[in-house]
Structure 1
Amino acid sequence: MKQLISRRSFLKAAGVTAAAASMAIGAPAASACWFGDKSDVTILYTNDVHTYIDKQSPKLTYAAIADLKQSYQDAGKDVLLVDAGDHVQGTAYGSMDEGASIIKLMNAAGYDVATPGNHEFDYGMDRAKAIMKEADFPYLSCNWVDLRTTLRVLPSVKVFVRGGRRIAFVGVTTPETFTKSTPAYFMDKAQRKYIYDIQGGEDGKKLYDAVQKAIDKAKLLADVVIGLGHLGVDPSSSPWTSEEVIAHTSGFDAFIDGHSHTVMENKQVQDASGKAVTLTQTGSYFANVGEMTIAADGTITTKLIPTHEGMDAGIAAMQTSWVNTVDDMLGEKIAVGDSDFYVSDPATGKRRIRSAETNLGDFVADGIYTYFNEVEKLHCDVAIMNGGGIRADVPAGDWTFKTCKQISPFGNVACLMSVTGKQIQDALEFAARFAGEDGKENGGFLQVAGATYEIHTDIPNTVQTDEKNVWIGSATGTPRVQNVKIYDKASGSYLPLDPGATYALAGMNYTLRNLGDGFAMFDGAELIKDYVSEDYLVMSTYAMTFDGADAAGLPHLSSANSPLAAYPGYLLNYEQPYGAGRITIL
């Protein structure tokens, strides 16, 4: 029997680009057909789900989102379902198969289009591209460019015909992806030059120009133009925030955003022409699904929906099966936490680990430090861990492998390098460049083990960086980071850092070898040992080495039970949410 090929498969086989296909199928010329009377169109939207798929009804899941979309369709309404990025990484449910099951759930839920967030690149460039091919829906980005060809990697625009009108989505990816993912993924194999760019520019102009070009294209094809961006509104993301992009361009009717995890039902932002543009974002972790309505008269309204009673039975079964599989793999109890461990500030609820010390930051860094000193039996002077790599508060109680995987879900691998004291100083200075009461969050803020340091926030930052916020040179003025001390096992004391001395520094390959968060000062450093263990396994091993086993044989995670308690004078205080006082901010 003759095998028939679908139109979509034919287009792929014939080499027709996704952009050309979308224009041919979804955006006929104005003269090609008459669209009739206009009716309301509903756009359901999600952002920053981060693989949180284990919630129970009526809380939101992909099964609930699918049922919600179907309910609109059953009522005869026109509906689209879109996502603004960061959906394949965040918990063990994403990382255990590098997002494959999440994409299957999104396919089943009926997503129509998405834009990649920075965390879509966390499993490497090859995997990021594979994920986008596995999706039944197109990904869009107007500013992700292959520098070898100067062409966009993805289509910039996708047009849908709904409700008697043409609706165009313009995809925008945050230029912060370079440092909030792994810069090495965007470079050649030798890590000598970038072969991909996510256009931004130090002043934002490259980003604004790329977006305006895509808007202009969309306006030729559509009646309504909607930004689908992963940019956010955090001041730390300036000049690449969604508000700044809207203010420096003209032509958007609305903008669905992500990245900053902001709950923003509807904010009116003026574009460059003075027109008010609707900006919206759902928060994160399926806290809400957004509902945007384009009325027959063109009016745009939005609301956020926190729960939905119904669910698609088939998708619910897929979710439950994968959740149970992961839980079975990682559900073994390994320890008991005697205290709450914090990413956030318990007094304010705000995330702290990217700007100051916390007890969980100490714990994770201590795990790396202990792994090399006690498990690998290699000399390690200092361990560092970027705050952005520590993702979840942990309440007192049982710890499992899954607990550690939720804290560190990235799959980075620990390594040990021989570096100079000056390189350590440069790293701490670079990490602290935004610190201070009015400073910006920084995923590269360094939690430390085997070291102490001060940050003098009254001293201006003079670290040299390029337009992608990658380190290119030491501070040119007085350093903000001072009084750095390194723990000396022989004397049981912390001794001043010697810039000319050599130290054994441990951390994740993300930071030490792959330019993660922009740490380029270790280029050329001697590698002592690499690929020893994955991040969550390093942490799990540390937890299992504690003393104080209970009747069930589980060690208890307290300062007194840590193997580092045997190190005279070593700073430990897991009972204090703000840590042991290793980092002093003045």
Structure 2
Amino acid sequence: MRRYTLSLALVITLLSPLPAETLALGIMHTNDHHGHLMPFRHDGEDGWGGVARRRVAIQRNRADTSYQWLLLDAGDVFQGTPISNLLTGFLDLECMNQMGYDAMALGNHEFDFGYDVLRSRFADVNFRLLCANVIDRERGTSVAQPFAVIRRGAYRIGVIGLTTETLAGETHPKVKESIVAYPAPVVAGLANYLRGTGCDIVIVLSHQGYGRDLALAAAVPELDVIVGGHTHTQLDEPTRVGDVLVTQTNGWGRYLGVLRMIFERDDETQRFRLVAHQNEYQPMSPDLPEDEGLLAFIADYDRRLQEEMGRVVATALRDFSVEEVRLRENELANLVADAMRTQTEADIVLMNGGNFRAPLAAGPVTAGDLYAVLPFDNFMVKVNLTGAKIRECLEYSTNQYGDGGFLQVSGLRLHYRDGVLVSALVGSDPATAVPLDDAATYSVVMTDFLAIGGDGFPLAEDPYGPGFTGLEQRATFSTWASAQRDLNSALDGRVLVEWIDMADPGLAD
């Protein structure tokens, strides 16, 4: 009889469990780029950001071949600088092509130039534009591909795009032609579908804001990662909700998010589980070199725009800030609102604080400066509203204190105390202003964005009906400013905000 013996080492090997299958996945991510192709000033220092600097950082991270890499963006690539706006996002997307992005969620500002312009941009990209929860009403289909399955080696990674559910109130008026679905059920269904079709990892590219991303992570545990945007939230570390990581950078390309993760496959469920992660928000600071090829590519377009953007329109006699334009009366908003009232001969002008996006420095004011201050291509609408409807809008403005819907005005004098409208007078001169008459009718000028109920305002005017003026807000202000030559404004008490028995919520941390 033959005897067979096994070495102790072989016995231990046979009895030991096999090592778990691991997946090393790296995600580089951005959000809320807002047209910042070129370096800009940040925290008092010039030379931050810019896509040429970002490309160098991306290439350095990709050199770490121990990870499978994805490059993702969570939306709002469009809108924010003259070069981006004048080319309606084309140059931003082309730079993303050259950086090698894999996918991008549509943000609300991707719709700012109109749905037709956005659809025309789909042909310009080599990566996936994703949006699962906005439906084209006319066609009955999603406005973009809802999800993509990206292969990395032997692994399948599902990426879902999600846009803010308040889209219709935050962008181009004609976007109301689209239907926005509540996101959580949409995402849950797609996540289960992707798992069922063999995806190893499921990621959401979300442009709905940090708070909603946390709620989504809790509601849909089938997810692995949520890469967010919209609220420009700068985190110290990704937030973990159960097994879901939620991350976001603060926008403009100031930082490149870099998330390295190790997943192990669970023998029982066969699902990969996160076992370790390392995170960086890499600063795109001036000491990081720029990619010369991409810099030259952008500079060629930039040179073509400089002549028009450098055209001097007027002279600012003082610095104008937008720092508290969403909290109280603001000199720059006064200047613009008064100009609109003069140009349209209206009784009253209402403008949302979120309309004003950049300060204006003392000295020559160029066309490029006006693009930065008023980047949105909105038209002015002149409608007749009752005093009661105007009062309703003014009272709603208190709910928007600290947010983009806080109203700046011309032709009114308002007094708010502890978040309540105490008085509303019609007129600019406090000596002759009279109480707002609920039964009277007034001519009111506002942007088409506000007229359709943007920022949730209780309005539903037809922006292209009888009240359409054909006056684009930036061009209208430019015409007025050119005639004035010297620009000056001061606080005159037209919007008095007091917090007496309550703490000022605008001062909260």
TM-score scaled by length of structure 2? 0.83
Aligned partner of 1:538: which letter? T
Aligned to 1:359: 331
**Alignment partner of 2:248 out of 262, 281, 287:** 281
Aligned to 1:521: 459
Work out whether residues 265 and 280 of structure 1, in 8 Å CA contact, stay in contact via their aligned partners in 2.
no
How far does residue 184 in structure 1 lie from its aligned partner after superposition?
Answer: 3.5
Aligned to 1:61: 50
For the pair 1:137 / 2:117, whether they are aligned, the reply is no
**Alignment partner of 1:199 out of 170, 181, 187:** 181
How far does residue 138 in structure 1 lie from its aligned partner after superposition?
Answer: 1.0
For the pair 1:52 / 2:36, whether they are aligned, the reply is yes
Work out whether residues 488 and 495 of structure 1, in 8 Å CA contact, stay in contact via their aligned partners in 2.
no
How far does residue 150 in structure 1 lie from its aligned partner after superposition?
Answer: 5.6
Cα distance in 2 for residues equivalent to 1:432 and 1:103: 38
**Alignment partner of 1:340 out of 319, 324, 342:** 319
Larger deviation, residues 244-253 vs 156-165: 156-165
For the pair 1:585 / 2:497, whether they are aligned, the reply is yes
For the pair 1:255 / 2:226, whether they are aligned, the reply is yes
Aligned to 1:300: 277
How far does residue 332 in structure 1 lie from its aligned partner after superposition?
Answer: 1.5
How far does residue 343 in structure 1 lie from its aligned partner after superposition?
Answer: 1.7
Cα distance in 2 for residues equivalent to 1:276 and 1:526: 48
Aligned to 1:550: none
Work out whether residues 49 and 252 of structure 2, in 8 Å CA contact, stay in contact via their aligned partners in 1.
no
Aligned to 1:564: none
Aligned to 1:391: 357
The superposition leaves residues 362-419 of structure 1 with CA deviations (integer Å, 9 ceiling, x where unpaired) of 12211211222xxxxxx32111111111111223333211111111111112232233
Count matched residues. Answer: 460
Superposition map of 1:426-465 within 5 A: 426-435=392-401, 441-457=402-418
Larger deviation, residues 166-175 vs 177-186: 177-186
Work out whether residues 118 and 177 of structure 1, in 8 Å CA contact, stay in contact via their aligned partners in 2.
yes
- Would the alpha carbon gap of residues 355 and 488 (structure 1) be closer, same or farther in structure 2, given more than 3 Å must change? closer
- Would the alpha carbon gap of residues 382 and 253 (structure 1) be closer, same or farther in structure 2, given more than 3 Å must change? same
Aligned partner of 1:59: which letter? W
Work out whether residues 41 and 163 of structure 1, in 8 Å CA contact, stay in contact via their aligned partners in 2.
no
Larger deviation, residues 175-184 vs 115-124: 175-184
- Would the alpha carbon gap of residues 356 and 256 (structure 1) be closer, same or farther in structure 2, given more than 3 Å must change? same
Superposition map of 1:182-193 within 5 A: 182-187=172-177
Q: Secondary structure at the match of 2:26?
A: strand
- Would the alpha carbon gap of residues 48 and 488 (structure 1) be closer, same or farther in structure 2, given more than 3 Å must change? closer
Q: Secondary structure at the match of 1:295?
A: strand
Cα distance in 2 for residues equivalent to 1:517 and 1:499: 23
Aligned to 2:293: 314
| Structure 2 unmatched ranges of 5 or more | 1-19, 41-45, 265-273, 499-509
Aligned partner of 1:45: which letter? H
Cα distance in 2 for residues equivalent to 1:233 and 1:296: 24
For the pair 1:535 / 2:489, whether they are aligned, the reply is no
Cα distance in 1 for residues equivalent to 2:195 and 2:236: 25
The superposition leaves residues 210-240 of structure 1 with CA deviations (integer Å, 9 ceiling, x where unpaired) of 1111221222332222221112136xxxxxx
For the pair 1:225 / 2:186, whether they are aligned, the reply is no
Cα distance in 2 for residues equivalent to 1:526 and 1:455: 33
- Would the alpha carbon gap of residues 526 and 73 (structure 1) be closer, same or farther in structure 2, given more than 3 Å must change? closer
The superposition leaves residues 130-150 of structure 1 with CA deviations (integer Å, 9 ceiling, x where unpaired) of 223322211122222245666
For the pair 1:511 / 2:439, whether they are aligned, the reply is no
How far does residue 51 in structure 1 lie from its aligned partner after superposition?
Answer: 0.3
Q: Secondary structure at the match of 2:492?
A: coil
Cα distance in 2 for residues equivalent to 1:140 and 1:544: 42
Aligned to 1:291: 258
Q: Secondary structure at the match of 2:351?
A: strand
| Structure 1 unmatched ranges of 5 or more | 1-35, 188-195, 201-206, 235-240, 345-351, 373-378, 436-440, 459-479, 547-554, 560-572, 574-578
Aligned partner of 1:369: which letter? R
For the pair 1:330 / 2:314, whether they are aligned, the reply is no
- Would the alpha carbon gap of residues 323 and 492 (structure 1) be closer, same or farther in structure 2, given more than 3 Å must change? farther
Aligned partner of 2:414: which letter? Y
The superposition leaves residues 481-514 of structure 1 with CA deviations (integer Å, 9 ceiling, x where unpaired) of 342111178x9721111222222212222222x4
Aligned to 1:381: 347
How far does residue 451 in structure 1 lie from its aligned partner after superposition?
Answer: 0.7
Work out whether residues 46 and 289 of structure 1, in 8 Å CA contact, stay in contact via their aligned partners in 2.
yes
Cα distance in 2 for residues equivalent to 1:128 and 1:243: 29
Larger radius of gyration: 2
Q: Secondary structure at the match of 1:533?
A: strand
Work out whether residues 170 and 218 of structure 1, in 8 Å CA contact, stay in contact via their aligned partners in 2.
no
The superposition leaves residues 299-329 of structure 1 with CA deviations (integer Å, 9 ceiling, x where unpaired) of 3322111127343333211211222322321
Cα distance in 2 for residues equivalent to 1:393 and 1:278: 36
**Alignment partner of 1:87 out of 68, 74, 77:** 77
Cα distance in 1 for residues equivalent to 2:254 and 2:167: 23
The superposition leaves residues 61-115 of structure 1 with CA deviations (integer Å, 9 ceiling, x where unpaired) of 2223333333344554642211100001112122112112222222222111000
Q: Secondary structure at the match of 1:266?
A: coil
Work out whether residues 221 and 243 of structure 2, in 8 Å CA contact, stay in contact via their aligned partners in 1.
no
Aligned partner of 1:285: which letter? W
Structure number with the higher strand fraction is 2
Aligned partner of 1:365: which letter? A
Cα distance in 1 for residues equivalent to 2:303 and 2:433: 46
Cα distance in 2 for residues equivalent to 1:103 and 1:267: 27
- Would the alpha carbon gap of residues 73 and 291 (structure 1) be closer, same or farther in structure 2, given more than 3 Å must change? closer
Q: Secondary structure at the match of 1:368?
A: helix
The superposition leaves residues 111-164 of structure 1 with CA deviations (integer Å, 9 ceiling, x where unpaired) of 110001111111112122222332221112222224566643333322222254
The superposition leaves residues 439-470 of structure 1 with CA deviations (integer Å, 9 ceiling, x where unpaired) of xx432221101111223445xxxxxxxxxxxx
Percent identity of the aligned residues? Answer: 26
- Would the alpha carbon gap of residues 98 and 531 (structure 1) be closer, same or farther in structure 2, given more than 3 Å must change? farther
Aligned partner of 1:172: which letter? L
Work out whether residues 423 and 522 of structure 1, in 8 Å CA contact, stay in contact via their aligned partners in 2.
no
Work out whether residues 417 and 525 of structure 1, in 8 Å CA contact, stay in contact via their aligned partners in 2.
no
TM-score scaled by length of structure 1? 0.72
- Would the alpha carbon gap of residues 580 and 218 (structure 1) be closer, same or farther in structure 2, given more than 3 Å must change? farther
Work out whether residues 42 and 292 of structure 1, in 8 Å CA contact, stay in contact via their aligned partners in 2.
yes
Aligned to 1:9: none
Work out whether residues 182 and 515 of structure 1, in 8 Å CA contact, stay in contact via their aligned partners in 2.
no
Work out whether residues 419 and 525 of structure 1, in 8 Å CA contact, stay in contact via their aligned partners in 2.
no
Cα distance in 2 for residues equivalent to 1:534 and 1:159: 42
Work out whether residues 34 and 78 of structure 2, in 8 Å CA contact, stay in contact via their aligned partners in 1.
yes
Aligned partner of 1:184: which letter? K
